[in-house]
Each structure stands twice: as structure tokens, then as C-alpha cells.
Amino acid sequence: MHKTIVVVGASRGIGKSIVDLFARDTLNRIVALSRNVDEMNRHFSKYENVNCFKLDLNGADVRSKSTAIFSNLDSIDILINNAGKLVNKPFLELTHDDINSSYKVNITSVMETTQAALSKMTKGHIVNISSMGGFQGSVKFSGLSAYSTSKAALCSFTELFSEEYKDSEIAMNCLCLGAAQTEMLEEAFPGYEAPVSAEKMAEYIVDFALSANQWIKGKIIPVSLSTP
Ligand SMILES: NC(=O)c1ccc[n+]([C@@H]2O[C@H](COP(=O)([O-])OP(=O)(O)OC[C@H]3O[C@@H](n4cnc5c(N)ncnc54)[C@H](OP(=O)(O)O)[C@@H]3O)[C@@H](O)[C@H]2O)c1
């Protein structure tokens, strides 16, 4: 069945692989968003069913800019809030901008993109991509206090949204990812080798986005090979 899918943070890493997977089904129509629209246009030009738009989650007017991008769509079936900003710095070295921009990209703008998408959703699935660092009781890493607290807020938003929309056919769930081999991970932890590739993580997310909303709503799910 034809689905319209919005992927935020699609220029590299897991988001790029998510779009690749959705685009293989030519019945899907995909809207790919990030700051690097040139890279998205270059990489996704092989697909006729992908449209790329520039959206800066760290910029102004995210809700109105997203609303303008979505205005040409009849409806949105799946929204994947995948974009993320990771700052790895000792707590006392974090600047005001480090903290503010982490929260802006990882939670404030996710909420505003979701507000915009809701004008096109009567049913469907919103998948928030959080981190194991934001999952209560998980192993924590020094240097990630701006990143992981903002990802914890994304988990909390999932529960609060789901309460407010519990009588609707819109499901929101949150996946707390463990380490996956991407540019973000390589920049933050040079030399670290993750047990999962971006492509494999994307496979899980795509399957989840397509079907899990039949059974679960408002859940915060760890997606990790390590314990706890
Ligand atoms: N990789 C991991 O080990 C891991 C672990 C746990 C959770 N996660 C989460 O998984 C998601 C994907 O991670 P990844 O490793 O694939 O990251 P990545 O390689 O850094 O890709 C992040 C994506 O987010 C976009 N983005 C960043 N800042 C943005 C902004 N201001 N406005 C719009 N888009 C922005 C980037 O596009 P532009 O730069 O072009 O804007 C890019 O497409 C993130 O939410 C991350 O926190 C990843």
C-alpha cells in the first residue's frame, strides 16, 4: 500500500540508510530532510520517489518551515525523527551554545516538526530516535551530559504525547539505539568499533516503523546488544 514517509536527518548515517530502504518500494513516497540538501540530492537522485528539502533543526521557525515543506503532501503515514546532535565534552567545558543547540536539535525541534506533521496525520506512526544514553538505568558515558539528557527528554516526550493522543490512531514510539557505526559515532569516539552497521540499524528501524504501531504505543525501547 502507498505510504508517505518523512525522514528527518537523512543526509548521512542511519537516516540515509532508512531512506534507501524505504525508497526500494516504489509505492512509497519519501520526504528526506536535513541541512545538507546537496548530498541528499546527489545520493537519492537514483530514486524517483524521494524528494529532498533543507531543514535546519538548529535554526529559527522550524514549525513553520516544516509546515511549508509538508504543505504539498496529502498525508503523512510515517514520521521518523532521526536527526541528532552529539557533543562529547567534559561537563564544565560545555558552552551555553553546546547545551542549547543539543536541546534544540534533539528535542525542541523534534516537537516542532511533529506539530507540523500532525496537520497531515490522522493515523500512522511517529518513531523518535533516541539513545541508550537517554534510557533510564543504562550504562552512562562521561562527556555526554548535554546529548544524553536531551535524548532522555525525547523519551519523556514520547510518553506525554502518547497520553495526549491515546484516543487517536497516531502511535508514537521511541527507539533508544545502542552504538551503530556512523559518522556521528566516529567523530565523537574516534577508533571505536560499533557492533552494528548503519544499514543494519536502519533495517530494524524501517521494519519497526512499518508494523510496530499495530501493537505498541508510547513505548521507549532499548535497541542494543549490550546489557544493561
Ligand atoms: N550512531 C550511533 O551509535 C547512535 C547511537 C545512539 C543513538 N543514535 C541516534 O541515531 C540518530 C542517527 O544517528 P547517526 O549516527 O546516523 O548520526 P549522523 O551520522 O551524525 O547523522 C545525523 C543526521 O542528522 C542530521 N542533522 C544533524 N543536525 C541537524 C540539524 N541541525 N538540522 C537538520 N538535520 C540535522 C544530519 O544532517 P545534516 O548534518 O546534513 O543536517 C544527519 O543527516 C541520531 O538521532 C543519533 O543521536 C546514534
Higher pLDDT, 149 or 189: 149
Retrieve residue 188's grid coordinates: 565523537
Going from the Cα of 167 to the center of ligand 1, the distance in angstroms, rounded, reads 31
Going from the Cα of 60 to the center of ligand 1, the distance in angstroms, rounded, reads 19
Could you tell me the domains of the chain? 4-223 (3.40.50.720)
Q: Is 187 in the pocket of ligand 1 (CB under 6 A)?
A: no
Instruction: Give the position, in ligand 1's atom list, of the atom nearest the Cα of 35.
Output: 41
**Angle formed at CA 97 by CA 175 and CA 104, multiple of 5 degrees:** 35
Lowest mean per-residue pLDDT among 5-9, 26-30, 223-227: 223-227
Average pLDDT in the 207-215 region?
97
Q: Which residues of 63-87 are buried (b: 16+ CB within 10 A; e: fewer)?
A: eebbbebbeebeebbbbbbbbbbbb
DSSP letters, 103-139, are: HIIIIIHHHHHHHHHHTT-SEEEEEEEEEGGGSTTS-
Q: Is 38 in the pocket of ligand 1 (CB under 6 A)?
A: no
- Give pLDDT tens digits for 74-88: 999 999 999 999 999
Would you give the DSSP letter of residue 92?
G
For the cut 70, the answer to whether the pLDDT of residue 122 exceeds it is yes
The mean predicted confidence, pLDDT, of the chain is 97
- Give pLDDT tens digits for 144-188: 999 999 999 999 999 999 999 999 999 999 999 999 999 999 998
Say how far apart CA 162 and CA 20 lie, in whole Å. Answer: 29
Lowest mean per-residue pLDDT among 128-132, 163-167, 222-226: 222-226
- Give residue 29's pLDDT: 98
Q: Is 133 in the pocket of ligand 1 (CB under 6 A)?
A: no
Dihedral class, residue 88 (left if φ above 0, else alpha if ψ from -120 to 50, else beta) = beta
Say how far apart CA 102 and CA 27 lie, in whole Å. Answer: 35
Q: Is 116 in the pocket of ligand 1 (CB under 6 A)?
A: no
